[in-house]
Each structure stands twice: as C-alpha cells, then as structure tokens.
Amino acid sequence: MALQTPIEYDQASPVVRAVYDDIMATRKTDWVNNFWKVLAHHPETLQRIWSNVKQVMSNGTLDPLTKELIYVAVSITNNCGYCIASHTAGAKAKGMTDEQLGEVLAVIGLANETNRLAIGYGVPIDERYLPS
Amino acid sequence: MALQTPIEYDQASPVVRAVYDDIMATRKTDWVNNFWKVLAHHPETLQRIWSNVKQVMSNGTLDPLTKELIYVAVSITNNCGYCIASHTAGAKAKGMTDEQLGEVLAVIGLANETNRLAIGYGVPIDERYLPS
Amino acid sequence: MALQTPIEYDQASPVVRAVYDDIMATRKTDWVNNFWKVLAHHPETLQRIWSNVKQVMSNGTLDPLTKELIYVAVSITNNCGYCIASHTAGAKAKGMTDEQLGEVLAVIGLANETNRLAIGYGVPIDERYLPS
Amino acid sequence: MALQTPIEYDQASPVVRAVYDDIMATRKTDWVNNFWKVLAHHPETLQRIWSNVKQVMSNGTLDPLTKELIYVAVSITNNCGYCIASHTAGAKAKGMTDEQLGEVLAVIGLANETNRLAIGYGVPIDERYLPS
Amino acid sequence: MALQTPIEYDQASPVVRAVYDDIMATRKTDWVNNFWKVLAHHPETLQRIWSNVKQVMSNGTLDPLTKELIYVAVSITNNCGYCIASHTAGAKAKGMTDEQLGEVLAVIGLANETNRLAIGYGVPIDERYLPS
Amino acid sequence: MALQTPIEYDQASPVVRAVYDDIMATRKTDWVNNFWKVLAHHPETLQRIWSNVKQVMSNGTLDPLTKELIYVAVSITNNCGYCIASHTAGAKAKGMTDEQLGEVLAVIGLANETNRLAIGYGVPIDERYLPS
C-alpha cells in the first residue's frame, strides 16, 4: 500500500536529481530503486538518509556482504517486505549464494526462537558477560 | 527477572548432565552459561534447542563470526538483554574488534530506521526485486 | 488477506447497526470504514473497542491531531498497513500537511534507530531521569 | 546491562569533546546524558547520530513537544527503557503535564490493541484510503 | 525503571478506591497488584482498562487458563517483563503445571522462529487458507 | 512477495519427498502447504523445522487446540500474514468456533495494550511474583 507514489527523474526537482545522480554514480548503475523515489517527497529526508547509508554501508572493517546480511536479519525480524526484497537482492549482487541464504534464514529463525526462550524464562545474565 | 533459577551440574539429572557435557565438549570449555541451565527445567526443550544450535551455528558456508553478528542483529532488534550480552561476548570470542562492534551497531540502527521509512511510506517493491 | 469479510449495514444485526449509527453520528459522516465492519463479526468487541476509541481519542488536554500522529507512530513501528493508511488519512482530515507528514516520518524513523542503539549499547539510565 | 561504560568529558578525545560541547551549547545546558557518552565509543556514530537528531528534532512545522511525544510512542512500542525515561523527561521539560502523559499512554496502549485487531482480522484497506 | 510509583489504598482517591475494591471483590482476594496501583495516576485509564479486563478475561467460551496462556504468549513476544511475571503467576494460580509451562514456552519459541522463516522466504498463502 | 517459489512434489529431490511424505502421513492428509514447499529450497532447514514442529506440536500436557491458539497469538503480535492464515485454519480444523476466534482476538488485542501500559509506566514487579 503506497502512501506516496515514486517520483521519477524527469519529474524531480534539482535537489532531488542531485541525490539520484549521486546514488547512480556511487553504485555505478543507471537505476534508482523506489525507496529513494518515495523519500523524494521530503527532500531533507532523502538527502539525510542517503548520506547516512553512504557512510554506514560503504567503508569499514566489516565487508559489504556482512553488512547486507545484518540488514536482511533486521528487516526479516521487523517484517519489512520492501526491505527484505531489496537487501536480499543486494546481498545476491554482492555474491551471496543460495546455500548462504538458506543458512542466513536458519540463523535468523533460530535467534528469534532463543530470544523468546531467554525472555520467557527470564535468564539471569552470567557474571562473565558483564563488563569488568 | 528470573522465572526459573539455573540448575547447576551437581543438581542436574543424568539427561541434563549429558547435554551439559556435550555443550562443554563441543565448545572446548569447562563452563555452561545460564541459558542452558534454565532450559534444563524442561529437558526436552534443552535437548531440542541444543541440537538446533549445534546444527545451525556450527557448519556451513557462512563463517561463525558472521553468524554471531546476525544473532546480535536479531537480539538487538528484539531487545533481548541476555541474548545481546551472550552473543556480543560470543562475537568477541570469535575475533570481533571494538571497531567492528561499532559498525555492526551502526548498521543495525540504520536498518531499523529505513525499515520504518519503507513501511511508513509504503514503498512499492521494484519489478527487478521480484522473482522471475 | 482478509480472514473475515466486512459486514455491511444492510446485513448487520440491530446491535451492530446501533454502533455503526453512533460512529457516523459522532464523526458527522455517512460512512463507516472497514475496521468496524470486520469487528462486527464479534459484536462485544465492536462495542467495546468503539467505546474505548470514543473515550481515548475524543476529549482531553492533547489536541486530536497530536493523538492521530501518535497513532501513526505506533502503527508504523508495528507495521500495520491498514492502521497506517487509516490514521494517515485521519491526520490529513485533521489538518496535517505534506511537510508535517515528512517530519513525522523522519522522527519515527530516527526514534527506531536510536532505540536500537540505546538497547544495543545497554546505556545506563541517568540518575536525573529516575523518579525522586 | 551496559555493554560499554559512559566516556566522561575528561577522558574524551578532542573529536568527542567537540560533539559534547555542541550538545551542551545547542541545548543550553552544562550536562550530557549517557546516550551520547556511550555512543562516544564509536566517534563516527556519535557525530552522525547527533547531526541527525539536531536536524530532525530542532526545526520544522511540528512543535518540539509533539516530536517528543512521537519519540515516546515509538520507544514504548519498542520497549526501550532508556529511551522511555529520557524522552518522557524531555517531554516534561518541554511542558508536558501529568494529565497529558496519561493521555499519551492511553493512546499508545489503544493503538497497540487496535493494530493487532486490524492485523488479526486482516481488515482490507478501504478504497478511499488509497492514493488516487 | 518506574516512571510513576504505585498509589496505595490509603493514599487513593474515592474513585480509585472503588476500582481497587472491585478488583479485590471480583478476584476474591485482599490484594491489588502494582499494575493497577500505577494506572491509578490516570483514573480514567484505571477505570477503562479494568472494565476491559473484566469483560475480556472473565466470561466466554474459552476457559480462563487458555486466556492466560495467550496473554503469556503475547507478553513474551513483546518482551514485557512485568506482564510475563504477572500472567505466568496468574496461569499457575489457575492450575498450570511446570510441565505445561515448559510446553507453552516451547510453542512460543517455535512460533517466533517459523514466523520469521515464513516472512523471510515470503511464503505465498495457500488458496485453501483464503476465505471462500 | 515470494523470494522463492514452492517446490512441488514432482520436482522435489528424494530427501525433500521423504519429508513431504512424513508430513502427509502424520497429518493424515494428501496435501502439503506452501510453508514446507518453500523451506524445501534448503533441505536441512525443511528437515530440522519439521522435526521441531512434530515434537513441539504433537505430544504433551496441553491439548492441540490450545497450542494452535498460542501460535495464532504469536503470529498476530508479529504480524506474520501467512502464519495467521495457516494457524487460524489449523485452529478451525481442531474445533475452534467463530465465537472462540472472537475471544482469542480480544485477548490478544487487550494483552498488546496492557503490555505497553506496563512498559510505558515502568510498573515495578510485585514481590509475590518473584521466585522465592
């Protein structure tokens, strides 16, 4: 259910186009996905979120595929359909195999189960897990 | 808040002790954490969950650290205090640096933000994300 | 996916019609939205929830638009598609502008991010936030 | 459960101190709350999140109290204890009365109930809620 | 972390005392638990929620223990510590055995796992599950 | 949105067929629902989850209908559309009446409301709810 329809490049303001251009240049592609075209209804949010994504997802000591898998884990736990589709596609583009996808989903499922067992039983935190 | 107190090795039944022994042997340690000692109140659950964790977390095409990071991502999104403490400790034991922890948390935080933006705006899924 | 189809006025029992009539009279409209028409499958729930909504949403020291925005914030965080659509429409009917919608979504997104950072880092509550 | 202890001003690096200084100047206070002192373990996150909070929470067409109430609504729905304490304190500092707090909590509670009724019954979205 | 301290019977207004009296009379006990003593800070909410609980939990075609177990399932999934403690105690008072508690937690854990597998894989709903 | 299409019996490997056969034999039916046909993309997960479901849902001191209602409560709280449809159908097949469904949904809705009130007010746990 779309509250807002995507804003295509031709309809976009110069501020929005500049973000679209930077997305395509950064990703080395000629395509912008709907997430950004919908955020374009509030240009400050479009600029702010793109700036955050570029900073958080691009550089660092974790490889890009691991970051995508964490994104998939959060998105499935939150039940965000769009995010599951886009970040699963992103992980495949970064080299995730079908076997790896199966393992990712198995870990996500099991973590959601043991989370509730720990919560339901009220397991006390072990001393050695506490900061010294 | 503990609904059930941990069952120590000395108090445990032979069935429970066998699981504790297997946990320590598999992990090459002389220590069992509270999660298992509380599950011991329902031995079928203790056996079943340990069997699942051994299968899902041990072997595969994803390295063990990546699996721990996915566990951390799910546990933070679900707000499970015990799970965050134990799996962060697990990730550190598998080599996670402080810098990597900072990046993991940054990705988890950002994913939770963009999940709600995608949900709130009702972003339609792009055609190329759909299975062909 | 509808588990139950909406019950239209013509098909409704006198008890259900009385609630529909009160909804339309209270809202000064000739229209009842599907939420109530589906709750009508369990008339006690229809009566109870309508009575709660009338009490909580109508009177008070907070203005009606602020209450709608809180409803939108909860609905997006819970990922309830129907509720997002209906309460966004409700907020617009009460005067919310497109710019305000953009800001509401920005706050909701950011709050979901900082919630997970506070949870993930296990930030201790400052003394001055505790009740004296 | 603190994974990381707060970093006090005296222990902080120049980069972290600069953010603390900006927080205090922006808020016209001589105090920094623990959230920022813990984020300081990853200075990029500290800078990024403070920059986001300043942009999203400060200016706009919604008044600051309304933004705080939306933050409270998200934080309660996500069960973030630190966030509930800090943003309830923030709302009080911006003028929220005890009666208003009672109403905010009533709306949040009811929204969480009707969200699940809409989800559980699978209520179909009314035509007039869809974008034309 | 208590935002509001419980209001004891001696300190309570006549309106609040009347609800406390009805809680004790309905439950055939001389004791009121903290949930109600904290809601007493907003007497309209105290009255409204008690009226809802009395209606929903007392009568019906489901037995009271089954209703408590559903409450426990929701509370664990939402990670509400107070609610887990109080409704587990309520279920025990209604006859739940330790073995039954073990089974309840096992079902809750497994449901949380399979929920994420169904969401993550995007399983299409079978025709025969749809309303005819 | 299906990430993976269901694998039909004719296309399935012998390992997958063996699970399908066991599902049909255990349930005394000639039909396998899509959940299993999609898990079949990762045969280890298919075998593991079916083994868990058989153990957790089949035997015990709780009757099968109560277990299905707990599954429905978790699925609605998590907003898993597929799970709501399949476990509501499962509960109906085990004898749930329309009136009982209405009561189940009322309890789930109310529990989600009171969960947030307990969390938002930070209700302290009563001494007598703590383990002695």
Residues in Cβ contact with D78 at an 8 Å cutoff, skipping those fewer than 6 apart: B79, C77, C112, C115, C116, C119
Instruction: With CB atoms and an 8 Å threshold, state whether B109 touches C109.
Output: no
- Decide if D112 touches C, using CB distance below 8 A: yes
- Residue-level pLDDT at A1: 46
Q: In Å, how far are B30, C36, C47, C61 from C57, measured between CA atoms?
A: 58, 16, 15, 11
Please report which confidence band the pLDDT of residue F25 belongs to, taking 50, 70 and 90 as the band edges. Answer: very high
Same domain, E29 and E68: no
Q: Which residues of chain B have a pLDDT value below 70? A: 1-3, 132
- Decide if D5 touches B, using CB distance below 8 A: no
- Residue-level pLDDT at D37: 98
Q: How far is CA D104 from the centre of its chain?
A: 15
* Phi/psi of residue F126, nearest 5 degrees: -65, 140
Task: Decide if C119 is inside a domain.
Answer: yes
Instruction: With CB atoms and an 8 Å threshold, state whether F60 touches E103.
Output: yes
pLDDT at position A132 over 70: no
Residue range C63-84: average pLDDT? 97
pLDDT at position F1 over 50: no
Residue range C117-122: average pLDDT? 97
Q: Which residues of chain E have a pLDDT value below 50? A: 1
Radius of gyration of chain B (CA): 19
Percentages of chain B per state (helix, strand, coil), in multiples of 5: 70, 0, 30
Instruction: With CB atoms and an 8 Å threshold, state whether E42 touches D85.
Output: no
Instruction: With CB atoms and an 8 Å threshold, state whether D3 touches B79.
Output: no
Residue F14 sits in a domain whose CATH number is 1.20.1290.10
Q: In Å, how far are B85, D15, F76 from C114, measured between CA atoms?
A: 19, 21, 26
Chains that touch C (3 or more CB pairs under 8 A): A, B, D, E, F
Residue range A29-36: average pLDDT? 97
- Per-residue pLDDT reduced to its tens digit, F50-106: 999 999 998 689 999 999 999 999 999 999 999 999 999 999 999 999 999 999 999
Name residue, tokens 């109508």: C58
pLDDT at position F131 over 90: no
Give how far D75 is from chain B: nearest CA, Å: 12
Same domain, C54 and C76: no
- Residue-level pLDDT at C20: 98
Closest CA to F71 of F46, F48, F94, F43: F94
pLDDT at position D1 over 50: no
Task: Decide if D25 is inside a domain.
Answer: yes
Name the residue of chain F whose CA is nearest to D106's CA. Answer: F117
- Decide if D93 touches C, using CB distance below 8 A: no
Percentages of chain C per state (helix, strand, coil), in multiples of 5: 70, 0, 30
Using an 8 Å CB-CB cutoff, list chain E residues near A76. Answer: 116, 119-120
Mutation pick from C116, C117, C123 vs chain B, by most beta carbons of B within 10 Å, is C116
Residue range C104-126: average pLDDT? 97
The shortest CB-CB distance from B130 to any of F1, F44, F131 is to F1
- Residue-level pLDDT at F24: 98
Domain of F3, in residue numbers: 1-59
Task: Decide if B131 is inside a domain.
Answer: no
- Please identify, among F10, F32, F59, the residue that sits at the C-terminal boundary of a domain: F59
The shortest CB-CB distance from A108 to any of E85, E109, E116 is to E116
The count of other CB atoms within 10 Å of the CB of residue F97 is: 12
The Cα–Cα gap between B96 and F33 comes to: 41
Work out the angle at residue E63's Cα, subtended by the Cα atoms of residues E62 and E64, and round it to the nearest 5 degrees: 115
Mutation pick from C121, C130, C132 vs chain D, by most beta carbons of D within 10 Å, is C121
Mutation pick from E71, E76, E80 vs chain A, by most beta carbons of A within 10 Å, is E76
- Decide if C122 touches B, using CB distance below 8 A: yes
Same domain, C22 and C74: no
pLDDT at position D14 over 60: yes
Please report which confidence band the pLDDT of residue F130 belongs to, taking 50, 70 and 90 as the band edges. Answer: confident
- Residue-level pLDDT at B132: 65
Same domain, B90 and B103: yes
Closest CA to E3 of D71, F126, D81, F114: D81
- Residue-level pLDDT at E1: 46
Closest CA to F102 of E26, E65, C10, C3: C3
b or e along E44-75 (b: 16 or more beta carbons within 10 Å of the residue's beta carbon)?
Answer: bbbbbbbebbebbbeebebebbbbbbbbbbbb
The count of other CB atoms within 10 Å of the CB of residue B53 is: 18
- Per-residue pLDDT reduced to its tens digit, A70-101: 999 999 999 999 999 999 999 999 999 999 99
Instruction: With CB atoms and an 8 Å threshold, state whether B74 touches A71.
Output: no
- Decide if C58 touches D, using CB distance below 8 A: no
Instruction: With CB atoms and an 8 Å threshold, state whether D106 touches E80.
Output: no
Instruction: With CB atoms and an 8 Å threshold, state whether F45 touches A88.
Output: no
Same domain, D26 and D71: no
- Residue-level pLDDT at F58: 84
Give how far B16 is from chain E: nearest CA, Å: 15
Task: Decide if E88 is inside a domain.
Answer: yes
- Residue-level pLDDT at C130: 87
Q: Quote the mean pLDDT of chain F.
A: 95
- Residue-level pLDDT at B4: 81
For residue A118 the two structure tokens come to: 């720990």
Task: Decide if E109 is inside a domain.
Answer: yes
Number of compact structural domains in chain B:
2
- Residue-level pLDDT at B1: 47
The Cα–Cα gap between E117 and A75 comes to: 12
Contact predicate C20/C36, CB 8 Å: yes
Taken in order E39, E45, E50, E55, the sign of the CA dihedral is negative
H or E element at residue E132: none
Same domain, C18 and C73: no
Same domain, B75 and B30: no
- Decide if F112 touches D, using CB distance below 8 A: yes
ipTM: 0.95
Contact predicate C38/C22, CB 8 Å: no
Please report which confidence band the pLDDT of residue D3 belongs to, taking 50, 70 and 90 as the band edges. Answer: low
Please report which confidence band the pLDDT of residue D130 belongs to, taking 50, 70 and 90 as the band edges. Answer: confident
Instruction: With CB atoms and an 8 Å threshold, state whether A102 touches F41.
Output: yes
Task: Decide if B47 is inside a domain.
Answer: yes
Same domain, D41 and D83: no
Give how far B45 is from chain E: nearest CA, Å: 7
C28: phi > 0 → left, psi -120 to 50 → alpha, else beta; which?
left
Same domain, D84 and D103: yes
Using an 8 Å CB-CB cutoff, list chain E residues near A109. Answer: 113-114, 116-117, 120
For residue F37 the two structure tokens come to: 């046909």
Mutation pick from D79, D83, D112, D114 vs chain F, by most beta carbons of F within 10 Å, is D112
Task: Decide if B77 is inside a domain.
Answer: yes
Instruction: With CB atoms and an 8 Å threshold, state whether E5 touches C48.
Output: no
Give the whole-number percent of chain D exceeding pLDDT 70: 96
Give how far E106 is from chain B: nearest CA, Å: 7
- Decide if B120 touches D, using CB distance below 8 A: no
Residue range C79-105: average pLDDT? 96
Q: Quote the mean pLDDT of chain D.
A: 95
- Residue-level pLDDT at F2: 53
Residues in Cβ contact with B63 at an 8 Å cutoff, skipping those fewer than 6 apart: none
Instruction: With CB atoms and an 8 Å threshold, state whether A105 touches F45.
Output: yes
The shortest CB-CB distance from E84 to any of A79, A105, A120 is to A120
Instruction: With CB atoms and an 8 Å threshold, state whether F3 touches A84.
Output: yes
Give C112: exposed, middle or buried? Use CB within 10 Å, 0-12, 13-18, 19+. buried
- Residue-level pLDDT at C125: 95
Same domain, D65 and D55: no
Same domain, A71 and A86: yes
Using an 8 Å CB-CB cutoff, list chain D residues near F105. Answer: 116-117, 120-121
Mutation pick from A41, A75, A76, A84 vs chain C, by most beta carbons of C within 10 Å, is A41
- Decide if A98 touches F, using CB distance below 8 A: yes
- Decide if A80 touches B, using CB distance below 8 A: yes
- Decide if E24 touches F, using CB distance below 8 A: no
Task: Decide if A71 is inside a domain.
Answer: yes
Using an 8 Å CB-CB cutoff, list chain F residues near E85. Answer: 125-126, 129-130
Same domain, D68 and D109: yes
